[in-house]
Amino acid sequence: MTFDMSRFGTSRWVKTHPNGVYTHGSTEPVLSVLDVRGFELRDVFLIGINDSCGTLVLPSESRAENAAAALEPAFDTRVHLFGNRDGHDLWATNYTRRALDGTTLSAFITNLTLKDGRQVIKDGRWVR
């Protein structure tokens, strides 16, 4: 028996969609990418931090890996064990949008200069 994803749909901030899809926050870009790339939109909780990053919570590692494969190369992804709930392991795919040149942009900080004057983030990209 798999985890009942409807448990994520109890908050007034979470939207409920068909097939056990629950979303919170900014979700349209990543849902479109998943749909176009053939990922079956079912049994998933999507937490969209903004248009460029977020987390997909899924009931199995294989679904999390499949979601990551569907998002690549447009997004940088990382699959990890999200936690255990009611005796079931839940897996997550974190994603961050990539720029056309393949670099991962900072989704929150666009420019950052340290006190010593060294700029470490410029135009959303880490300066090396």
Instruction: Give the model confidence (pLDDT) of 32-72 as tens digits.
Output: 899 999 999 999 999 987 778 899 999 999 999 999 999 99
| DSSP per residue, 96-108 | EEBPTTSPBPPSS
Taking CA atoms, 28 is separated from 24, 58, 76, in Å, by 11, 18, 17
Q: Are the C-beta atoms of residues 97 and 52 closer than 8 Å to each other?
A: yes
Residue 78 has pLDDT above 90, yes or no: yes
- In this structure, what are the phi and psi dihedrals at residue 39, rounded to the nearest 5 degrees? -75, 125
Would you tell me which CATH number, out of the four given (3.90.940, 1.10.3470, 3.10.28, 3.10.450), belongs to the domain 5-97? 3.10.28
Query: What pLDDT score was predicted for residue 16?
Result: 86
CA 36 from centroid of its chain's CA atoms? 16
10 Å CB burial of residue 117 (0-12, 13-18, 19+) is: exposed
In the chain, CATH 3.10.28 covers 5-97
Q: What is the pTM of this model?
A: 0.77
